[in-house]
Structure 1
Amino acid sequence: MSATASLRLPPLPTVRDLVRLYRLRAIKQLSQNFLMDERITDKIVKTAGYLRNHYVCEVGPGPGGITRSIINRKPKKLIVVEKDNRFLPTLELLKESSAGHVDVEIEIGDILTYNFEKGFNEIPKHNWYEAPPPLHIIGNLPFSVSTYLIVKWLKEISLKTSAWAYGRTSMTLTFQKEVAERIVAAVADKQRCRLSLMCQTWCDVEHKFTIPGKAFVPKPDVDVGL
C-alpha cells in the first residue's frame, strides 16, 4: 500500500448485515436513523477534509457506517462516542479490524458530557489565529439533541474550551434539513433566526449537501442537511 493510499478494511459483513445479525433496531426515543450507503458515508467524510494522521471524534456512530469511512481515511486516532451500548459488538469489530493502522477508542457515554481535553490530551494546543488543529468532529446527530448540542458547543467555542481549547476545531455534522437551512440563512432570508446569528457569529458555516430521508433506516419524515 502506498503512503498516500486510503486504508481498506479487510472483508467484513456489511453494516446492513450486522444490523440484521445483532438485531439492531433504531430506537425512536433516541432519534436513531442508520446510514448504510457507503457512497454517502464516504462523501460525508470526504467533506470533513484531510484526516490522514489527524484526530477524529465521531458522535453517535451507531452500527458504524460513517466509522468505516473515517477509518479508511487513516486518521491517527479515532474516538467514537456512543450512548447506546447495543452497538458495542459492531464497533469492537471495526476496532479489531483496524488494529495496527488506526488507534480506535470506544467511549460508551453521552457526548453532552464527553471530556475532549482528556480524550485528546496528546494534541498540541494551537493559537486561535493559527491554522486549525488536526482535530475533527464528525457526526450523524440525533434530531432530538442536535440543536441543544450545537448551542452547547457554540458556548465552548466562545470560551475556547473543550474541543476548542486546541484551536479552531472543525465540525462536520448532520441536521434536519430545516435546521441546516436556518444555520446558514443569510440576513433577510425567511429562515434567518437566533440560531443563524449564533452559529454565524462563532463559526464559518456551509450547507454542503442534502441527504434524502430515504437514505436512512428507518426513513425519517424529513431530509437531512450536512
Structure 2
Amino acid sequence: MAASGNLGSFRLPPLPTIRELIKLFRLQAAKQLSQNFLLDLRLTDKIVRKAGNLTNAYVYEVGPGPGGITRSILNANVADLLVVEKDTRFIPGLQMLSDAAPGKLRIVHGDVLTFKIEKAFPESLKRHWEDDPPNIHIIGNLPFSVSTPLIIKWLENVSCRDGPFTYGRTQMTLTFQKEVAERLTATKGSKQRSRLSIMAQYLCSVEHIFTIPGQAFVPKPEVDVGVVHFTPLIRPKIEQPFKLVEKVVQSAFQFRRKYCHHGLGMLFPAAQRLESTGRLLQLADVDPTLRPTQLSVLHFKNLCDIYRKMCDKDPQLFAYNFREELKQSRSKNQTKDSDKESCGL
C-alpha cells in the first residue's frame, strides 16, 4: 500500500518490476558485499512512510541497489532525490528511474563512506541546530557490512555537526541486521546493551520502528532486518568530544560480562591502573561492581566528564592505548625467551 495524501502531484509511470529489472540487467546480489534486495514495494513504501512526510523534501538515499526504495521515495512526491551507489551494475536501472522522473533523481556513482554531502543540497535548507530538523532525510537499505561503520561515522558527524548535519538535525531512516537494530535501541540492563547503544543514544533519539522478515529479501539473509529512525538531539547527553566518549565506552564494554571496573581500567597504564580506576569510579559515582550493560547514559556522562579532567591534568593519558602496551610487553617477553634460547638456558 502506498503512502496516502501526498501522491497527487507526481506518480512514476508504469515500469518493469524490480524482479524484472534484476532479470533484465542480470543482477545478482553479491554475497561478498552482503547485498540483499527488497522487492516488496509495500514494504519499501512502509519504510518511506515511517521516515516522515516527504512532500517536497530533499532525500539522500544510500545504497539504492536495484531501486526498490528509490521508487517509493519518488512516489512520495519529493522535491529532489540524490542516490549514491557504489556498484556500477545498478546504474542502468537507476537511470531508467531517472528518465521516468525528470528532474527528480540525481545519481552519483560513489561510496557512501567517502561521499561528501555537505554541498549536495541548497544552502537555503540549512537550519539552526536548535530549530526543527531541516527538510532533508537520509534513507537507506545498506549492505550489512557497511551499515555499522557508516552509522558510527554519521554519529561522529552529528557530534561535530558536519557532513549531513551541516544542514541541521537531519533525520535518518536506515536498515540494519535485527540484532544491530536491537543494540542501537537497547535500554539499561538489556542483554543487547552495547557500545553502539550508548554511542547512538547519547547523540540521538533512536527508535526501532519495525522489523522486516528475512524472507522479504532476495537472497534471503539468515537474519531479520530492523528499520531504525534517528533524530539528532538538540543537546547531546554527554558534552565531550566524540573520540573521548568512544574511548571510554569501548573500554567499559571491553569485558562485557565482567564488572565495569575491569574494562574501565584499560583507560590507564598498568603502573597507575588500580589507583586511577578507583579514583575515576569514585568521582563519577559509579559502583565498580555494575556490569557494563547496567550503566546508564548518565553514568557514562559522569565517567567521560571525570576522564576528561584526568586527561587535562595528564596530557599523555588520552593517547594511551592498552593494546599497544600489551603488544610491547609481548614482544619484550618474546625477545627475552629467544635470548634465553640463544644462551642455552
TM-score, reference length from structure 2: 0.63
Give the equivalent residue in structure 2 for 1:130: 131
Contact 1:6 1:72 in 2 (8 A): no
Correspondence 1:1-226 to 2 at 5 A: 5=8, 7-99=10-102, 103-226=104-227
Amino acid at match of 2:137: H
Amino acid at match of 2:132: A
Give the equivalent residue in structure 1 for 2:330: none
Specify every segment of 5 or more residues in structure 1 that has no aligned partner in the other structure, as ranges: none
Deviations along 1:37-92, whole A, 9 cap, x unmatched? Answer: 01000000000001111100001000100000000011111000000011111100
- SS of residue paired to 1:117: coil
Contact 2:7 2:77 in 1 (8 A): no
Contact 2:59 2:81 in 1 (8 A): yes
- When the two chains are superposed, the root-mean-square deviation of aligned CA atoms in Å is 1.3
Specify every segment of 5 or more residues in structure 2 that has no aligned partner in the other structure, as ranges: 228-345
Contact 2:6 2:76 in 1 (8 A): no
How far, CA to CA, are the matches of 1:213 and 1:22 in structure 2? Answer: 24
Amino acid at match of 1:59: V
- SS of residue paired to 1:208: strand
Contact 1:123 1:166 in 2 (8 A): no
Deviates more, 1:115-124 or 1:181-190: 115-124
How far, CA to CA, are the matches of 2:154 and 2:176 in structure 1? Answer: 15
TM-score, reference length from structure 1: 0.96
- SS of residue paired to 2:208: coil
- SS of residue paired to 2:138: strand
How far, CA to CA, are the matches of 1:191 and 1:30 in structure 2? Answer: 25
Amino acid at match of 1:136: H
Q: 1:3 to 1:155 in 2, by over 3 A?
A: closer
Q: 1:3 to 1:64 in 2, by over 3 A?
A: closer
- SS of residue paired to 1:107: strand
Amino acid at match of 1:143: F
Amino acid at match of 1:155: E
Displacement, 1:121?
Answer: 3.8
Displacement, 1:141?
Answer: 1.2
Task: Report the structure number with the largest CA radius of gyration.
Answer: 2
Amino acid at match of 2:77: K
- SS of residue paired to 2:206: coil
Structure (1 or 2) with the greater helix fraction: 2
Amino acid at match of 2:96: L
Displacement, 1:124?
Answer: 2.9
Displacement, 1:6?
Answer: 5.8
Displacement, 1:144?
Answer: 0.5
